[in-house]
Amino acid sequence: MMKESLGLIDAHLKEEGISRRDALKLFGTGGAAALMATGTTGCTGTSSNAKGKILIVGGGLAGMATAAGLTNALSNPDITILEPNELSTSYQPGQTLVGGGVWTKDQVVYKRDDFLPDGVTLIKEKAVEFDPDNNTVKTSGGKTIKYDYMIIAAGLKLDFSKIEGLGIDQSITATGDYSAVSKVLGKNGLASIYYQQGSEDTWKEMQKFIAEAKSGKKVKGIFTHPNTPIKCGGAPKKIMYLTDARLREAGARENAELTFYPNGSNMFGVKEYHDAIVNQFEARDMKWNYRHNLVAVDPEKKIATFNRHWEEKGEWDEDLEEYSIVPRSEKVEVPYDFMHITPPQVAAEEIANSPVGSGKGWVPVKKETLQHVKYPNVFALGDIVAVPMGKTGGSARKQYKVVIENLIAVMEGREPKAEYDGYTVCPLITSLSTVMLAEFNWTGKPTPSFPLDPTQERWIWWLLKVYALKPMTQYGMLSGRA
């Protein structure tokens, strides 16, 4: 499969006038380069003799990749990972493809223990109490772990409980126990690709929706984006594009109205990608309503309630010589036949309420070095970290190398010099054969790796998304070498 996939990618690159060698230069140390290259090297190139007890909180993609990279980079590593979930390393970016019926759930499920680096100690518990002043962490099993250096890569939680009417009273993780949400989601037209079982259920519910449209019934599908930071900001739109594509495939698109309800006021934070998505929506007759935050659902009546919010010009302020801005809002009820919910997403309480957390929950770091703002022997990365953007696997791929280099610098008594530039990549699936590869960083401008218009949907990026990125993650990033 890998050889065939790379052959297809090579052929398309040739059509674009780009050789694989040139592609590798363009991607630099990026994931696609690591995938297409014939060999790989460790993050630092040479082993460090630095010593110290390293504790990694979280054994998902970010945490396990960091453990693997440190194992490669240190001559005598002493690393412990805290991770209770046996499926923590599962390939979450693939859940969109499961939700669209392109993959099956078993294609994204990875077992944590299969990716534990040699020599790394695994404790199958979670951190419940942090004492960074004394360099200790208490676990759910009652252990107290002493560390010299700590890396927090605990991910985030999906908080469906913030939506009234669902009857959900607790948050869940993407790959953990989903029993708290299973009584209401995955049935009666309600779906979410954001947790593993939910992705499989999304495809089942989408097929029912398509069958209704194919029968001649006029149906409505709605797709939400909440008022919190979320992992993979493009995913709410990806599943909408795939619903559109499946309806067209079934010859039933004209019977379905598809509407996107984002809390924000644009499609994408980067203008060029925003403009491209608006054009794509218009071409597909997909509708949208900005500044709508989902606050309640009536699963029986199939009615979603949004808080529609906006600002109005108020009274003239003579001192400031400007008009005041008055926030306004109203509740809006919207009927649906199929609704994909992107849940509010939060940091775990044990982190948010600890000395290493923050008022908003996320772990505060210096955004370039990923070193904690208060505790120099603590670093953080992945979905839990408080940086302006970047809750994606592509961001974690860049971040973990920065953390490794800077942690080793601190261990060796040097200043951390490696910098994360905010790079994020979102392979925005736009159909069953095209992807727009949205790459950007803190400049707020597109940062494409290839000399191709990044706002264009391309078959080559579909091949990259469907065939190349998963093995790159599995054999590259989780080995600490990509």
Looking up tokens 């947790």, which residue turns up?
195
426 belongs to the catalytic site? yes
The residues that bridge with 296 in the sheet, in sequence order, are 164, 305
The residues that bridge with 326 in the sheet, in sequence order, are 312
The pLDDT, as a whole number, for residue 13 is 57
43 belongs to the catalytic site? no
Q: Where does 300-356 show beta strands of DSSP type E?
A: 303-317, 322-335, 338-340, 345-346
- β-bridge pairing 338-340 and 219-225: parallel
Tokens for 245, please give them.
């594509």
What is d(CA 461, CA 440) in angstroms, rounded to the nearest whole number?
Answer: 16
CA angle 268, 270, 276 (to 5 degrees): 65
Closest among 202, 159, 197, 201 to 179, alpha carbons compared: 197
Q: Read off the pLDDT of residues 85-128 as tens digits, 9 standing for 90 and up.
A: 999 999 999 999 999 999 999 999 999 999 999 999 999 999 99
The pLDDT, as a whole number, for residue 21 is 54
What is d(CA 93, CA 238) in angstroms, rounded to the nearest whole number?
Answer: 11
Least confident interval from 62-66, 199-203, 409-413, 474-478 = 474-478
Q: With a cut of 60, say whether residue 20 has pLDDT above it.
A: no
CA angle 221, 223, 226 (to 5 degrees): 155
Amino acid sitting at position 296: A
CA angle 65, 3, 475 (to 5 degrees): 10
> pTM score, two decimals?
0.91
Closest among 439, 438, 434, 442 to 460, alpha carbons compared: 434
- Of 145, 232, 380, 418, the catalytic one is 232
Whether residue 70 contacts residue 81, with contact meaning beta carbons closer than 8 Å, is answered with no
Q: With a cut of 80, say whether residue 468 has pLDDT above it.
A: yes
Q: Provide the residue ranges of all domains of the chain, joining segments of one domain with +.
A: 182-345
Q: Read off the pLDDT of residues 276-297 as tens digits, 9 standing for 90 and up.
A: 999 999 999 999 999 999 999 9
Tokens for 478, please give them.
């989780």
Q: Read off the pLDDT of residues 366-389 as tens digits, 9 standing for 90 and up.
A: 999 999 999 999 999 999 999 988
CA angle 89, 90, 93 (to 5 degrees): 120
- Of 24, 277, 426, 469, the catalytic one is 426
Closest among 102, 155, 158 to 470, alpha carbons compared: 102
Phi/psi at 425 (5° precision): -130, 135
Fold of 182-345: FAD/NAD(P)-binding domain (3.50.50)
Q: With a cut of 70, say whether residue 215 has pLDDT above it.
A: yes
Q: Read off the pLDDT of residues 301-346 as tens digits, 9 standing for 90 and up.
A: 999 999 999 999 888 888 878 888 899 999 999 999 999 999 999 9
